[in-house]
Amino acid sequence: MTLLWPEVLLAYLHVPVLVGFYVWVIRRGAAESVRYPTLDLAVRAVAAGRPLRRHVPAVCYLITLCATIFALARPVWPIPVPDNQTAVMLSLDVSGSMIATDVYPSRIAAAKKTATEFVRGLPAGAKVGLVKFSTRATLITPPTDDHDRVIAALAELRPEASTAIGDGLLTAVYALPGRGAFDPAAQVAGPPAAAVDPATLPPAAVVLMSDGGNNTGSAPDKAAFVARRLHVIVHTPSGLGRPRARCPTSKATPRARRSTRTR
């Protein structure tokens, strides 16, 4: 148990003062003497009374005061509850080559449909986020259990320019729970530099969907190294285009990607 306002407990210093004042009041002599018609009547009255009963109101008041002071200190008792921290990030290629129609109706439409079906198949409460990448990577939706929000964001994706696969993977990795505390520059250059132990991070995965090779931004192998160091599983589904297919709006030659898994 902890107290949010422990300084309120200083009010207990007034309790001994109040007790001393009460004892002084009951022990001091009366201001005026009371005359009784007969001494025998006074003796019988004192013998019939219960001396301790007269202190009951004062004791109740003191207990109430102590309980009030303790309540004002705002005691709290943390109760651990299960929390599913597992998250999945979708990293979707929106480069110019994704407008090719060798996959019906187009590569980007097929990728969006597949990603939408994937999100709808997730159990309730599972966290999923979305990253798009072309010339640069952009975090569209951080990990959330609002699956409709991610589906709506997928529907708004449009083809853009180049293909920065490495940046798309890095942006997705750093958007996962606990991974944002790491320094991206340090992660690419070597082992994690943050004080957090990567082994204590919650399970996470990235589903990266692309039709071509990297032609700008960070190198994919360095991004994969970061993902492995931060215990992120990377899935790269295949089926987003024929080998050797070239789109005039992209400098890269799209290739069919094999399904891989990086730890």
User: What ranges do the domains of the chain cover?
Assistant: 2-76, 87-262
pTM value is 0.59
Per-position pLDDT tens, the chain of length 263: 788 888 989 999 988 998 888 888 877 755 555 565 566 666 665 555 566 777 888 889 889 999 999 999 888 888 876 667 789 999 999 998 888 888 888 999 999 999 999 999 998 889 999 999 999 999 999 999 999 999 999 999 999 888 899 999 999 999 998 887 555 444 443 444 444 566 678 899 999 998 878 888 889 999 999 898 888 999 988 656 554 333 333 333 333 333 444 44
SS (H, E, C) the chain: CEECCHHHHHHHHHHHHHHHHHHHHHHCCCCCCCCCCCHHHHHHHHHHCCHHHHHHHHHHHHHHHHHHHHHHCCEECCCCCCCCCCEEEEEEECCHHHHCCCCCCCHHHHHHHHHHHHHHCCCCCCEEEEEEECCCEEEEEEEECCHHHHHHHHHCCCCCCCCCHHHHHHHHHHCCCCHHHCCHHHHHHCCCCCCCCHHHCCCEEEEEECCCCCCCCCCHHHHHHHHHHCCEEEECCCCCCCCCCCCCCCCCCCCCCCCCEEC
| Superfamily per CATH, domain 87-262 | von Willebrand factor, type A domain (3.40.50.410)
